């Protein structure tokens, strides 16, 4: 295959859903795998649903994920413009062409009239009224009205839509790269609106015209489009573009964690997890949310997680860099059934990426968080904190939030453990240990460990009698990095100082 061109064509009606990100990812991977081009097109043909900021959000999201398009809105390219609202005239021309060659027609019914008609039909027992070969003969269309009447209405500037004229009694078959052969009978298909009364095309018209004009070779999109693909195939035929029609691949949907329907915007709040890549600040708090980024996910982890939600290379490798995904990806390996959003798996992936992340890079990512907490430390120190904490973190903020004692004095002690480990006679022993540590020439983990062990041997002390007190003195809690590593990070002076302060506190809180 050569000159592969795919597109991601989101609608700027709000934040880009994580399912959309996965669609973009699969398009990106397919393009990269075959040395093709990944195009971003903005489908803003519904003026009523346009949300300011959505387009920027889409670009930012793709950038954060590291899957930037090669061409398209916000990037440029030879098929510009890539925003459909700016291509209005093009669709107009093609819609008229279809009317002229008998594949489409004018319809003058207002939305209200259509509603009334649907209700009347429903009342009469027909619950699936649609605009089709039968009804188009009784509705107000250029097929049912006299030619001069049609001209009069058009001339008078009456509102109209242009509809696709569905052929009678035909079976439309096409091959979906994921599902194989799929077919529809035209008697089941309706006369879809192609051009709305406001002069804007519907998705159906615009996506065919643009995919053709932009020389798209493969359409990889969500399963929700499968039922209308029959219409799309017909449109390619009507335009005489059947020979260059792109291959279709319909992706399985991402389902809610409970499996009841497809994952939606509200599920984020409902299940306490992100369902968008980035956060979104809306007018109301209810409409605002945090994304994977704000939760503290690494984009590489999100990408890896998403890639495996509906796709699998067939090997037992689970961790894949973006480059490895590009190499391993193939449409044939995409599964057919919907995948539940498995948040535990997402967290596991993040943990894996955190563990192997570079300390300095983590420090950079975590800097805003530590500053916000009032922790002003050097880059080197912050990187060292990350080094000690990353093995036990799930989210980026854990690196800072669970390490308060590495940034400042111990704020609270675990009194329960204190009561259990600190005895009235402990003080002289630990003061001797503190003196011993203070005298160490090198305040480095390994030698410190030797020093403490030697001290314990001398005094006939067991680790259980010493280590918990040391840990408690330095961190206040029984959780955290290795004691000797903490000592090294804190340094001689601070370590000794903490021990002294802690011993005072312990004495004061003797049970």
Partner RNA sequence: GCCCCGUUCGUCUAGGGGUCUAGGACGGCGCCCUUUCACGGCGUUAACACGGGUUCAAAUCCCGUACGGGGUACCA
Size of the site for RNA (CB under 7 A): 85
Question: Is residue 228 involved in binding RNA (CB under 7 A)?
Answer: yes
User: Of these, 161, 208, 418, 452, which contacts RNA (CB under 7 A)?
Assistant: 161
Sequence-separated (6 or more) residues with CB below 8 Å from residue 375: 400, 407, 408
Question: Is residue 342 involved in binding RNA (CB under 7 A)?
Answer: yes
Question: Is residue 391 involved in binding RNA (CB under 7 A)?
Answer: yes
- Encode 87-116 in three state secondary structure: HHHHHHHHHHHHHHCCCEEEECCCHHHHHH
Identified catalytic residue from 33, 265, 345, 347 = 265
Tokens of 98: 């279809």
- How many Å apart are CA 344 and CA 289, to the nearest integer? 20
Q: H-helix or E-strand containing 180?
A: strand 180-185
Residue 376 Cβ, how far from RNA at the closest point, in Å? 25
Instruction: Between 318 and 379, name the residue whose CB sits nearer to RNA.
Output: 318
- How many Å apart are CA 255 and CA 337, to the nearest integer? 10
What residue has token string 């060659």?
101
Cα 36 to Cα 2, 155, 215, 311: the distances in Å are 7, 47, 12, 20
Instruction: Between 58 and 245, name the residue whose CB sits nearer to RNA.
Output: 58
What residue has token string 């319809």?
107
- How many Å apart are CA 144 and CA 424, to the nearest integer? 102
Question: Is residue 291 involved in binding RNA (CB under 7 A)?
Answer: no
Residue 10 Cβ, how far from RNA at the closest point, in Å? 7
The interface with RNA within residues 72-101 (CB under 7 A) comprises none
Instruction: Between 177 and 371, name the residue whose CB sits nearer to RNA.
Output: 177
User: Of these, 35, 314, 368, 408, which contacts RNA (CB under 7 A)?
Assistant: 314
Question: Is residue 333 involved in binding RNA (CB under 7 A)?
Answer: yes
Question: Is residue 312 involved in binding RNA (CB under 7 A)?
Answer: yes
Q: CA nearest 47: which of 85, 74, 80, 14?
A: 85
User: Of these, 270, 355, 438, 501, which contacts RNA (CB under 7 A)?
Assistant: 355
- How many Å apart are CA 8 and CA 154, to the nearest integer? 36
Question: Is residue 169 involved in binding RNA (CB under 7 A)?
Answer: no
The interface with RNA within residues 444-503 (CB under 7 A) comprises 462-465, 467-468, 471, 478-483
On the 0-12 / 13-18 / 19+ scale of CB atoms within 10 A, 487 is buried
The interface with RNA within residues 183-212 (CB under 7 A) comprises 183-185, 188, 190, 193, 196-198, 200-203
The interface with RNA within residues 115-134 (CB under 7 A) comprises 127-128, 130-131
Beta strands (DSSP E) in 239-321 are 247-251, 254-255
Instruction: Between 71 and 109, name the residue whose CB sits nearer to RNA.
Output: 109
Whether residue 303 contacts residue 65, with contact meaning beta carbons closer than 8 Å, is answered with yes
Instruction: Between 188 and 507, name the residue whose CB sits nearer to RNA.
Output: 188
The interface with RNA within residues 404-443 (CB under 7 A) comprises none
Q: Name residue 104's beta-bridge partners.
A: 164
Residue 265 annotated as catalytic? yes
Instruction: Between 274 and 480, name the residue whose CB sits nearer to RNA.
Output: 480
* Residues known to be catalytic: 265
């Amino acid at each position: 295959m050569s000159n592969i061109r795919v597109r991601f064509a989101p609608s700027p009606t709000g934040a880009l859903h994580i399912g959309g990100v996965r669609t973009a990812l699969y398009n990106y991977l397919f393009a990269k795998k075959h040395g093709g081009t990944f195009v971003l097109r903005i489908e803003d043909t519904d003026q009523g649903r346009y949300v300011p900021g959505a387009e920027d959000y889409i670009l930012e999201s793709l950038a954060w994920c590291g899957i930037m398009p090669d061409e398209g809105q916000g990037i440029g390219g030879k098929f510009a413009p890539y925003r459909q609202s700016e291509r209005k005239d093009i669709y107009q021309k093609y819609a008229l062409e279809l009317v002229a060659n008998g594949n489409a027609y004018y319809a003058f019914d207002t939305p209200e009239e259509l509603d009334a008609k649907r209700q009347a039909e429903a009342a009469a027992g027909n619950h699936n009224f649609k605009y089709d070969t039968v009804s188009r003969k009784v509705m107000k269309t250029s097929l049912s009205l006299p030619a001069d009447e049609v001209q009069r209405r058009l001339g008078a500037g009456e509102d109209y839509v242009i509809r696709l004229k569905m052929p009678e009694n035909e079976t439309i078959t096409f091959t979906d790269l994921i599902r194989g052969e799929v077919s529809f009978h035209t008697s089941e298909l309706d006369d879809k609106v192609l051009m709305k009364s406001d002069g804007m095309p519907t998705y159906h018209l615009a996506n065919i015209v643009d995919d053709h004009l932009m020389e798209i070779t493969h359409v990889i999109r969500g399963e929700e489009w499968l039922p209308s693909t029959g219409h799309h195939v017909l449109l390619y035929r009507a335009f005489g573009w059947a020979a260059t029609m792109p291959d279709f691949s319909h992706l399985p949907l991402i389902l809610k964690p409970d499996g009841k329907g497809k994952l939606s915007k509200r599920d984020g709040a409902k299940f306490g997890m992100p369902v968008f890549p980035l956060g979104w600040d809306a007018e109301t708090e209810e409409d605002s949310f945090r994304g994977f980024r704000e939760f503290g996910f690494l984009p590489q982890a999100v990408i890896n997680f998403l890639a495996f939600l509906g796709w699998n290379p067939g090997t037992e490798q689970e961790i894949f860099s973006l480059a490895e995904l590009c190499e391993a990806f193939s449409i044939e390996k995409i599964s057919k059934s919907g995948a539940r959003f498995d948040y535990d798996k997402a967290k596991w992936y993040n943990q894996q990426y955190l563990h192997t992340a570079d300390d300095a890079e983590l420090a950079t990512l975590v800097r805003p968080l530590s500053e916000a907490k009032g922790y002003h430390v050097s880059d080197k120190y912050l990187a060292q904190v990350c080094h000690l904490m990353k093995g036990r973190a799930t989210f980026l903020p854990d690196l800072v939030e669970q390490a308060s004692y590495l940034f400042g004095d111990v704020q609270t002690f675990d009194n329960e453990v204190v009561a259990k480990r600190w005895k009235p006679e402990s003080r002289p022993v630990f003061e001797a240990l503190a003196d011993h540590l203070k005298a160490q020439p090198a305040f480095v983990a390994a030698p410190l460990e030797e020093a403490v062990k030697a001290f314990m041997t001398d005094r006939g002390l067991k680790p259980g009698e010493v280590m918990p007190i040391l840990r408690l003195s330095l961190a206040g809690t029984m959780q955290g990095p290795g004691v000797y590593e903490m000592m090294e990070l804190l340094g001689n002076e601070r370590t000794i100082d903490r021990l002294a302060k802690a011993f005072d506190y312990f004495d004061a809180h003797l049970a």
